[in-house]
Amino acid sequence: MRFLKMTLLLAVIFFTGSITAQEDNNFEISKSLEIYGDIMRQLNLNYADNINPGNLNQDAIDAMLKNLDPYTIYIPESKMEDYELMAKGEYGGIGAMIQKQGDWVVISEPYEGFPAQKAGLMAGDEIRVIDGDSARGKTTSAISEKLKGTPGTTVSVTVRHFGSDKDETYNIVREKVKIPNVPYYGMVSKNIGYISLIQFSQNAGNDVKNAFIELEKEHKDLKGIIFDLRSNGGGLLNEAVKIANIWIPKNNLIVKTKGRIKSNTHTYNTQFAAVDTKIPLVILVNENTASASEIVSGSIQDYDRGVIIGSRTFGKGLVQNVIPISYNSKLKVTIAKYYIPSGRCIQAINYFDRENGDGPSKVPDSLINAFKTKGGRTVYDGGGIEPDIKMKREKFNQVTGDLYAQNYIFKFANLYKKNHDSISGPGSFTISDSLFDAFKNFVGDKFDYKTETEAVIKRLKESAEREGYSSAIDSTLQLLNKELKQEKKKDLDKNKEEIKQLLRIEIVTRYYYQKGKVQSSLIDDPEIAKAIDVINNPTEYQSILNGTFKQDSNEEK
C-alpha cells in the first residue's frame, strides 16, 4: 500500500509538472507573439524607409527555425508547388538538367524520353531565349522557373548548339517529368545482378521489386544481388519498408519512430511475404547515404540478411511530418527519431540538447551504445551505419577535379558527340590512347589551375618581400616556378587513367543518357569489384554474417 501511495504521489507530481511546463510555454508563446506583432507594427509606422513585411517575416521564421535542426523548414505558398513536385519526384517541364557557364545557362543533361531530348536539345546547348525573353546573365534557378510549367503547355526555347554560331528555336510541349527511382539495373558479371536506386519517391518499392524479379526471371543462375544506395539521400519512409520487405519476411520490424508525443510513435513492420530470403545480397553505401537508405541498409544488417560495403553512412535518424498552417503554407517539422530493428538510433548530430547557446554536436564516443543483430553480431548507434567491409572513397587528383570543374571534360564530350553519330555500348566503349591525346590537344595551354605547391611559393615570396629577403631568394623562387611549370605539363599524363574514366562516362552519357552513365561508371568501380568477390566467396560472405570475419586494416581501401 505504501508503495502504491508513493507511485501515485510521483505520478501526480510528474503530471502537475508537465501541466506547469506546458502553461509556461503557452505564456512565453503568447508573450513572444505579442512582442513580435508590436515590433512589426512599429517598424511599419516609424522606419526611415518602406519595409517589406513579407520578407521580414520570412527572415524571422528562417532565423527561428535555424536554431532547431536543418530539416524543420517553413514552406510558403509561393514555394508550395516546387515542394509538392519534389516530394513526388516529378514536375512539369521539359526534362533536362542545366548549369551556368559564363553568361549563359546550358543544357548539361537531357533526360531520355522527355520533351527536351525528343525535341532535339542536347548537352552543351546554350539557352539564349525563353518565350521571347533573353536568358543572358540569368541564374539557373531563374531559367529553371521559366522552363517548368503545367504539363500540356508550350514553351518556346531558343538555343545555340555546341560548336554552332546560329540560334535555333524549339516549341516544346511540357510534360510531367518523373525521374526514375531506378535509373539502371542489369548484370555486372555472368551471374551477379545489380540495382541502382537514387531516391525513395512514390513507387520506389515496386520499382526495386520489379527490377529484382526481372533479373531473377532472365537469369536462372543468378548467384547474388548488389543493391546500390550510394549517395541516396532518402525520401519516403514507407517505401524504405517496402524495399526491405523484398528480402526480409512478413511481420518483421523494420523501423520504429519515437516522438515527444504519443501520436508520433509508430511501428513499421513488413506487410508481405518476402520475394527472396536466401539469395546473397550486398548493399553499397557511402557518406551521402542517408535517412530511408539507412533504414534499408540498417535493417538488412540488423537481420544479418546481407553484407554492407562502403563507408560509414550520413547518420540521419530524424523523422519529419508536413503540417498545414495559415495562408496555404506548410511547416515541415521534425517529430521523432527513428530506431532500426536492433534498437539503435543512427542519428549522428545532436540538435536538441544544447546548453549555453552551444551549436549542434556529434554524439560523443562515451555515449555510443552497443546493440546486437539477430545473429548476435555487435553493432553501434551514434552515427550512421558502419559497413561490414569498409572501403575508403578514392579521390580524384586536383588536376582531374579542375578539368571537370572547368568543363573541359564536358565540352570535349560535346565535341566528340558532334563529330561521331554513334559509339559502342556503354559497357564496352573505352578511351583509346589516341583519343586521350586528342583531349590533351583540346585542353592545350588554355587550362590553368593552381596547385598547393604554387600557393606555398607565392606565400613564401610575399613573406620574403615583407621581411626583406627578396634579393636573397628571388632567383631561387623563380627557378622553382620554372621547374614547377614544366612539371605541371606532365600532370595530364600522370593522371591519365582517372581522366580517361571521367571522359568515358561523360561521352557515354551523350549517347545512352542516365542508364548509360550508371552502366559505364560500374566498369572500374572498386566497390563493385569487392562486392562481386564477396558474393563469389560463400565462405567469406557467411563469415561476415556470423561475426567471425575480421577485415585486415591493410586491406581497407
pLDDT at residue 405, rounded to an integer: 93
The DSSP letter of residue 200 is B
Answer whether 328's CB lies under 8 Å from 80's CB.
yes
Res. 514: pLDDT tops 80: yes
Strands 281-285 and 224-228: what pairing?
parallel
Reference 293, options 241, 352, 218; nearest CA is 241
- Per DSSP bridges, beta strands 361-362 and 318-325 are unpaired
Instruction: Specify the pLDDT at position 556.
Output: 56
> Would you state the pLDDT for residue 303?
98
Q: What is the Cα–Cα distance from 440 to 503, expressed in whole angstroms?
A: 12
Whole-number pLDDT of residue 98: 96
Q: In this predicted structure, what is the pLDDT of residue 516?
A: 96
Can you give 21-58 as a three-state secondary structure string? HHHHHHHHHHHHHHHHHHHHHHHHHHCCCCCCHHHHHH
Give the mean model confidence (pLDDT) for residues 35-50.
90
User: The CATH number of 90-178 is which of 2.30.42.10, 3.40.50.300, 2.60.40.10, 1.10.3720.10?
Assistant: 2.30.42.10
Q: How far apart are CA 546 and CA 373, in angstroms?
A: 10
Domain spans in the chain, listed from the N-terminal domain onward:
25-66, 90-178, 184-387, 398-449+495-535, 452-488
CA angle (490 as vertex; 484, 491 as ends), nearest 5: 85
Q: What is the pLDDT of residue 85?
A: 67
Residue 158 confidence class, pLDDT cut points 50, 70, 90:
very high
**What contacts 190, CB < 8 A, 6 or more positions away?**
221
**What whole-number distance in Å separates Cα of residue 310 and Cα of residue 395?**
14
What is the average per-residue pLDDT within 302-308?
A: 98
Confidence of residue 5 (pLDDT cuts 50, 70, 90): very low
**Locus of grid cell 548537352:** 123
pLDDT at 299 over 80: yes
Picking from 84-88, 299-303, 430-434, 456-460, which range would have the lowest pLDDT averaged per residue?
A: 84-88
Q: Average pLDDT in the 245-255 region?
A: 98
State residue 10's pLDDT score: 43
How large is the average pLDDT for residues 208-217?
Answer: 98
> Rounded to the nearest 5°, which phi and psi values hold at 389?
-125, 115
pLDDT of residue 23: 62
Residue 210 is placed in which grid cell?
A: 520489379
DSSP 342-359: TS-----EE-S---TT--
Q: What is the pLDDT of residues 376-396, one digit of tens each?
A: 999 999 889 999 999 988 788
What single string gives the DSSP state of each residue in 134-159? Answer: E-TT--HHHHHHHH---TT-EEEEEE
Helix (H) or strand (E) holding 386: none
Of the listed ranges 26-40, 248-262, 346-360, 365-379, the least confidently predicted one is 346-360
Residue 410: phi, psi to the nearest 5? -60, -50
Kindly indicate the confidence band of residue 420, based on its pLDDT and cuts at 50, 70 and 90. very high
pLDDT confidence bin for 534, thresholds 50/70/90: very high
- The answer on pLDDT for 449 being more than 70 is yes
Arithmetic mean of pLDDT, 170-187: 95
State the average pLDDT for the chain. Answer: 90
Q: Is the pLDDT of residue 4 over 70?
A: no
| Mean pLDDT, residues 124-151 taken together | 95
Q: Is the confidence at residue 462, as pLDDT, over 90?
A: no
Contact call for residues 312 and 383 (beta carbons, < 8 A): yes
Position with higher pLDDT, 140 vs 87: 140
**Positions marked catalytic:** 291, 302, 316
* Angstrom distance (rounded) from CA 289 to CA 409: 27
The pLDDT of residue 557 is above 60: no
Q: What pLDDT is attached to residue 553?
A: 59
Distances (CA, A) of 390 to 13, 247, 285, 300, 542: 50, 23, 10, 16, 17
pLDDT class of 173 with cuts at 50, 70, 90: very high
Among 257-261, 284-288, 470-474, the minimum mean pLDDT is found in 470-474
pLDDT digits (tens, 9 = 90+) for 263-273: 889 999 999 99
What is the dotted CATH code of the domain comprising 184-387?
Answer: 3.90.226.10
Question: Confidence class of residue 472 from pLDDT cuts 50, 70 and 90?
Answer: confident
Going by C-alpha positions, the residue among 86, 85, 109, 89 that lies closest to residue 97 is 109
Those residues whose C-beta lies under 8 Å from the C-beta of residue 263, and which sit 6 or more positions away, are none
More confident residue, 6 or 250: 250
98-102, 250-254, 455-459, 550-554: segment of lowest average pLDDT: 550-554
